[in-house]
Amino acid sequence: MSEIIATTSDNTFIPGGRRRHRRPRQNGTGTGLRRALVLAMAVPVASAALGGPSAFAAGKGAGTTAKTDAPDPSDQQMAANLETRVLDQRLGSNVSGVVLDADSNTTVWGHNASTALMPASNAKLATSTAALTVLGPQHRFTTKVVYGNGTLTLVGGGDRTLTTADLAELAKTAVAGLKSAGRTAVKVAVDDSLFPEPTLAKGWNDGYYPDTVAPVRALVVDGHGVQDTSIDAGQVFAKQLAADGVTVTGQVTRATACARDVPVAQHKSAPLSDIVHTMLKHSDNNIAETLLRMTALGAGRPATFEGGTAVVRQVLSHVYGVSLDNFELYDGSGLSRSDRIPAATLAQILELLTKPRYAHTLGSILDGLPVSGEAGSTLGPEYGRFDDADSKCAVGKVHAKTGTLTGAIALSGLTQGKDGKWKVFSFVENGATADPNSIKDAMDDLAATVNGCYA
């Protein structure tokens, strides 16, 4: 999805609570263990990530509690309501759901929570977690211009947020250098060799190109949905050069910059934390797929779907101890119809956001979650969210990632329950035959039930 997003304020949503996370499982093979250790050394929060067990530690099933304390009456009522409302005919018969209490380390309610379903864009939660962990929230992507043999080469650095204004600044710097050297004409090339030639992920079809997602390249401008984003960016750059008084000869071509080429200009993106924030608010598929590749490179893997998803698995399992039982991921955006993630796993990922020790690294995920009724986000009124009689009471109270594919709708996030404590929830349905807007209304009703306002 791609939507216009309103500027958001600094984070004021800080769930607290005492949560213990289970220790990362060690791979029994020497190769697997070495890989895990190499990755752990490469990621910023690995040293802080080795904690205790979570609500989904081995041996604990969905719907059970991690403590023997008597359930809170409001939680009991919420669980009873969910048990009835999850059977809503709008949701169909293939529904997975879970609710965790972020304060008491309990699983409040579960319904087929370990069943792996198509998560749609909820997969972006996994991609975001891996990207921020491997690269760090302050990481910036660099686009460069180099000169050699009468050619200015625009070198892509995986910045999916590059704009025409950014290219104009690069062009202005390049033109100043050319003119000082007495040159008034130049050729233009683009170098997008940071990523291999685009391919389709398992579970994709070429009907996605270029509107739902563009072929994934290391160079793009203004998020243009075109088949060759690199050449397109080069053409925009060439126009900027011409506007500044330099003649561009010939067509924009693809080339690989040489080590002896002279650096001319560079542009650095906003911090990764800002990019993740934007990606989640928009549910931007293109940013997600670019981040998957940059995450792979950051961990020393090939910039491919396979390389990126392997790193996601390593980060979730070995850094954070998230269960990967029944977990299948083939892309970064959740567009793949082969992706499978249980609600229990999505809740575990979101559970990390309630831990103060991860706030610096993962805080932009929390900030980026759409808020119920937030105009310009995927939970905004323009999408008909949280606007029915049962869910409108939760406007402004639910922070959640949406997910929508044909035959798959998901909603996973956090909200304060009726007892004032933070609840982590995930609901995923596959195969419901009701109108998608009706299914989303039913999902919103479940979230309002977790909040407790729909009692």
| Co-location of 133 and 146 in the same domain | no
| Co-location of 228 and 286 in the same domain | no
- 416 pLDDT band, cuts 50/70/90, is very high
Per-residue pLDDT at 61 exceeds 80: no
* 131-178 confidence digits (pLDDT tens): 999 999 999 999 999 999 999 999 999 999 999 999 999 999 999 999
- 113 in any annotated domain: yes
Out of 206, 238, 269, a domain closes at 269
| Co-location of 220 and 96 in the same domain | no
φ, ψ of residue 197 to 5 degrees: the values are: -55, 135
Per-residue pLDDT at 21 exceeds 80: no
pLDDT of residue 104: 82
* CA–centroid distance for 187 within its chain: 37
- 20 in any annotated domain: no
Per-residue pLDDT at 2 exceeds 90: no
| Co-location of 119 and 232 in the same domain | no
Q: What is the mean pLDDT of residues 4-30?
A: 36
| Co-location of 180 and 201 in the same domain | yes
- 9 in any annotated domain: no
Out of 210, 235, 269, a domain closes at 269
The CATH number that applies at residue 92 is 3.40.710.10
| Co-location of 109 and 163 in the same domain | no
- 323 in any annotated domain: yes
* 33-58 confidence digits (pLDDT tens): 334 434 443 444 433 332 333 333 32
Record the tokens describing residue 430, joined without a space: 């596959």
Indicate the range of 47-56, 106-115, 445-454 predicted with least confidence: 47-56
Is there a contact between 201 and 331 (Cβ–Cβ < 8 Å)?
A: yes
| Co-location of 105 and 226 in the same domain | no
- 2 in any annotated domain: no
- 24 in any annotated domain: no
Residue with more model confidence, 279 or 7: 279
Please state the domain count of the chain: 2
Angle of helix 272-282 relative to helix 285-298, nearest 10 degrees, comes to 150
The CATH number that applies at residue 231 is 3.50.80.20
Record the tokens describing residue 106, joined without a space: 């309990």
- 91 in any annotated domain: yes
- 72 pLDDT band, cuts 50/70/90, is confident
Per-residue pLDDT at 438 exceeds 80: yes
DSSP bridge pairs for 253: 189
pLDDT of residue 112: 98
Q: What is the mean pLDDT of residues 65-70?
A: 47
- 219 in any annotated domain: yes
Domain around 159: 142-269
| Co-location of 381 and 283 in the same domain | yes
DSSP states of 343-410 as a string? HHHHHHHHHGGG-GGGHHHHHHHHHHS-BTT-TTSTTSGGGT-S-STTTGGGTTTEEEEEEEETTEEE
Per-residue pLDDT at 274 exceeds 60: yes
Per-residue pLDDT at 6 exceeds 50: no
Per-residue pLDDT at 346 exceeds 60: yes
| Co-location of 47 and 107 in the same domain | yes
pLDDT of residue 32: 40
| Co-location of 293 and 259 in the same domain | no
- 69 pLDDT band, cuts 50/70/90, is low
- 405 pLDDT band, cuts 50/70/90, is very high
| Co-location of 295 and 410 in the same domain | yes
Out of 239, 269, 299, a domain closes at 269
pLDDT of residue 103: 87
| Co-location of 59 and 88 in the same domain | yes
